[in-house]
Amino acid sequence: MPLKVIISGASSGLGRALTQHYTEAGATLGLIARRRDLLETLAAGSSRASIYEADVRDAGAIRAAGEDFMRRYGCPDVVIANAGISRGTLTAYAEDNEVFEDIVTTNVLGMVNLFQPFLAAMQAAGRGSLVGIASVAGYRGLPGGGAYSASKAAAISYLESLRVEMYGSGVSVITICPGYIVTPMTANNPYRMPFILTAEVAAEKIITIVENKVSFAVIPWQMAIVARILKLLPDFLYDRLFANAPRKPGDSKTNYREGGWFGVGRSTGDKPEQRE
């Protein structure tokens, strides 16, 4: 039986690469993103793909998408919460409050919204995997990236809580923390990004992790070492090392994209973009 897979943020970057890999494997796909034109192009390569133009922050739209998918194909085998946004924020700027809210809502509640429509059916079936794409940025708070780091730390904790809640149910919960990935959001980064992976290689690694039902993984393995070191650094040393890391400048119209220190780099624009 072909796998049935749900992917949010499917239209570009890591989500697109995951979609292409699962398409080649003959999976039945439910693809969720905000950009319908890109979804239609992706779905054209599969005879068993349904597309849903929706924002993961819209719980009603995501629930409707989930119900439609299950009505067509039944309970999914894998649900991948990949959609997310990254933008630099500074508490000193009142105008960043809305950005804080957008990032946390998308990166944390968006994950909850995606899992909820499928959870009861997966529990009843006693099988399936819920996969959350977190980040190495969730290991420590990064200057200029407080909202992003906080959202990814929250995602890591949320996924751990859910994993324990699902213990014994047959439903696996998998947390994946990537380092740097080549996506449209990192394409123009002027910062050095060690151990960066192409989206295709990252997708291959993630699919292997999901197949093996590894509960927690950092990719690539080199970033797992970096993350562990960061976690162990005493505060005084961490503060000294990262005090001058890239951060949002005084011009409030300058935002950050993924890059810089594990997810924070500089670019210009007014709105955060969804990682799709």
Q: What pLDDT does residue 187 have? A: 57
Least confident of 17-21, 76-80, 103-107, 139-143: 139-143
Provide the residue range defining the domain that includes 252: 4-275
147-163 confidence digits (pLDDT tens): 999 999 999 999 999 99
Phi and psi based region of residue 48 (left: phi greater than 0; alpha: psi -120 to 50; beta: remaining): beta
pLDDT bracket for residue 46 (50, 70, 90): confident
Decide the pairing of beta strands 274-275 and 216-219: unpaired
The arithmetic mean of pLDDT across residues 58-73, rounded, is 98
| Rounded-to-integer distance, Cα 86 and Cα 111, Å | 15
Q: How many whole angstroms separate alpha carbon 142 and alpha carbon 164?
A: 28
Rounded mean pLDDT, 225-247? 88
Give the total number of structural domains in the chain: 1
191 is catalytic: no
- Quick check: 39 pLDDT over 70? yes
Q: What is the mean pLDDT of residues 64-70?
A: 98
How many other CB atoms sit within 10 Å of the CB of residue 236?
A: 8
Q: In this structure, what CATH number is given to the domain that contains residue 100?
A: 3.40.50.720
Contacts of 256 by beta carbon, 8 Å cutoff, 6+ apart: 86, 87, 88, 144, 145, 148, 246, 248, 264, 265, 266, 267
pLDDT of residue 171: 98
Bridge partners, residue 4, by sequence: 28
Q: 33: which 2 tokens?
A: 């993103």
**Catalytic position from the list 22, 52, 139, 148:** 148
pLDDT at 246: 64
State the pTM of this model. 0.88
Q: Quick one: pLDDT band at residue 66, thresholds 50, 70, 90?
A: very high
Q: What separation, in Å, do the N-terminal and C-terminal C-alpha atoms of the chain show?
A: 27
Going by C-beta distance under 8 Å and a sequence separation of 6 or more, which residues neighbour residue 60? none
